[in-house]
Structure 1
């Protein structure tokens, strides 16, 4: 029996989203590009731990998470690690504060469609990674 090829670091995309249907949409968009999903994570602590493991190609972050927390610490960790990321989020006071801390990042408002997610992933990922199936 032949073992399947191990996941390459360049194939990993972190998804941070607390709303189950949106998390499924984001994860499926990543998988449709032939990439592997790390998560979806519903809270900042587990998402930040995933960032600390390393090897991520990109990340998609909702800003407002469960229990009133935000993905700000995840965004900060991704920026420090040099991992490209974008916000896929609704707008609110906490969103504006987190986004202002990372003004160079793309912000895609929810609800988001699959075509827009595909374009977003093209923008985030290095050339030749996740070009779709």
Structure 2
């Protein structure tokens, strides 16, 4: 699926996902939309390093990582004014702090149409 001209896409997307197969699926789909660069991180520490090295234009954050959650990453992205969306396989039961309650949330699995729509609606081009 190619991105239409209806919405701009970020140049660089960070995927924070602890399951390598899911991360690869997201990466393949996002690159297929025409995003220039996709980087992945499997834990909080690595994600924070990636953000410090080069802030992304958008990030997808798996809420529940092995032994931790992505809320520290969300706080860092929020402080940098970098748009992001949460991705979770736990549905509406996932507890998101009030500060992030209005952030977009995608289910796992999600459709390519839903993923593309979130990127087009919330991303900052040239990130």
Could you state the TM-score of these two structures normalised by the residue count of structure 2?
0.80
Query: Which protein has the bigger helix share?
Result: 1
Distance 1:122 1:92, change over 3 A: closer
Q: How do residues 15-54 of structure 1 correspond to structure 2 at under 5 angstroms?
A: 15-35=15-35, 36-39=37-40, 41-54=41-54
Distance in 1 (alpha carbons) for counterparts of 2:109 and 2:93: 18
Aligned-partner SS, 1:60: strand
Residues 64, 94 of structure 1: 8 Å contact kept:
no
Q: Could you list the runs of 5+ residues in structure 1 that have no partner in the other structure? A: 1-9
2:58·2:124 contact (CA, 8 Å) conserved in 1?
no
C-alpha deviation, 1:74, in angstroms: 0.5
Mind listing any 5+ residue stretches in structure 2 that lack a counterpart? 1-9
User: Between Structure 1 and Structure 2, whose CA radius of gyration is higher?
Assistant: 1
Q: Structure 1 109/17 Cα, relative in aligned 2: closer, same or farther at 3 Å?
A: same
Secondary structure in structure 2 of the residue aligned to 1:55: coil
Structure with more relative contact order (C-alpha pairs < 8 Å, separation 6 or more):
2
Please tell me whether the aligned partners of residues 83 and 122 of structure 2 are also in contact (alpha carbons under 8 angstroms): yes
Q: How many residues align?
A: 116
Q: What are the residue-to-residue correspondences of 1:1-133 with 2, within 5 Å?
A: 11-35=11-35, 36-39=37-40, 41-66=41-66, 68-91=67-90, 95-96=94-95, 98-126=96-124
Runs of 4 or more consecutive aligned structure 1 residues displaced over 4 Å after TM superposition? none
Q: CA RMSD in A?
A: 2.2
